[in-house]
Amino acid sequence: MRPGESDVLLVVDVQNDFCAGGALAVPDGDAVVPVVNRLAGRFAHIVLTQDWHPPGHQSFAGAHPGRKPFDTVELAYGAQTLWPDHCVQETPGAAFHPGLRLPRAELIVRKGFRPAIDSYSAFYENDRRTPTGLAGYLGERGFKRVFLVGLATDFCVQYSALDARRRGFAVVLIEDGCRAIDLAGSLAEALCAMAAAGVERVASEAIS
């Protein structure tokens, strides 16, 4: 599988807080970094997303007295998992992993910056209506296929994959370039949902 001019590598949230020692570390999250770096040389076009929360964001357990991380609450847009404070704007935890080597990345999409609404997907906020603008950017650039890597498979990667399909893009999940949180079976559910939506799954060795 050889990426072409209409393909883009979408690198989701490879940030310090999602890696070892971070506030919301994804198990083995650091392992995606060398995979992403190897893949970067095979793609002419790369886009990154960056979780970018203001202090006291409504998705933080600390913003809800009496609640703890991984509880679920109902917000205006529906059910929301509460997280430890993470990827707070202009903190080291929000920075990209220092091992990433993506000098040719063409765009960084920041998400989750609205205080009252979380944003897993690279394309839409969690209300499933408010766009980030990424679909328009990719469409105007003429991209047809999105290859996904990053953190975490069962949350931001999954939501990005499903929304990319919803917007008409072909989607390829590079499995060894992702890692999952896997809350109560969430990884298996995510893989099923992506398969049902037509997301192709490959290993990084399949990308030439």
Domains and CATH numbers, the chain: 7-53+92-178+188-206 (3.40.50.850)
Residue with tokens 């949902």: 193
DSSP helix/strand/coil, 88:
strand
Cβ-based neighbours of 91, under 8 Å, separated by 6 or more: none
Dihedral over Cα of 61, 67, 72, 77: its sign: negative
pTM of this structure: 0.96
- Tell me the pairing of strands 78-81 and 72-75: antiparallel
192 as an active site residue: the answer is no
From start to end of the chain, where are the E strands? 7-12, 46-51, 72-75, 78-81, 107-111, 145-151, 170-179, 200-202
Q: What is the pLDDT of residues 86-135, one digit of tens each?
A: 999 999 999 999 999 999 999 999 999 999 999 999 999 999 999 999 99
Q: Using the predicted structure, report yes or no on whether residue 159 has a pLDDT greater than 90.
A: yes
Give me the pLDDT at residue 25, please. 97
144 as an active site residue: the answer is no
Give me the pLDDT at residue 151, please. 98
Binning pLDDT at 50, 70 and 90, where does residue 183 land? confident
Query: By the 8 A CB rule, do 143 and 44 touch?
Result: no
111 as an active site residue: the answer is yes
Give me the pLDDT at residue 116, please. 95
Name the active-site residue from 19, 87, 156, 178.
156
Give me the pLDDT at residue 30, please. 97
Give me the pLDDT at residue 39, please. 97
User: What six digits make up the tokens of 160?
Assistant: 């990005």
User: What whole-number distance in Å separates Cα of residue 193 and Cα of residue 130?
Assistant: 21
Mean pLDDT, rounded, for 144-168: 97
Q: Using the predicted structure, report yes or no on whether residue 184 has a pLDDT greater than 90.
A: no
Q: What is the pLDDT of residues 38-62, one digit of tens each?
A: 999 999 999 999 999 999 999 999 9
Name the active-site residue from 13, 30, 51, 85.
13
Average pLDDT, the chain: 97
Query: By the 8 A CB rule, do 126 and 120 touch?
Result: yes
**At residue 157, what are phi and psi to the nearest 5 degrees?**
-65, -50
Q: What percent of the chain has pLDDT over 70?
A: 100
Cβ-based neighbours of 46, under 8 Å, separated by 6 or more: 8, 9, 11, 40, 102, 104, 105, 106
User: What whole-number distance in Å separates Cα of residue 150 and Cα of residue 2?
Assistant: 20
Name the active-site residue from 17, 111, 163, 178.
111
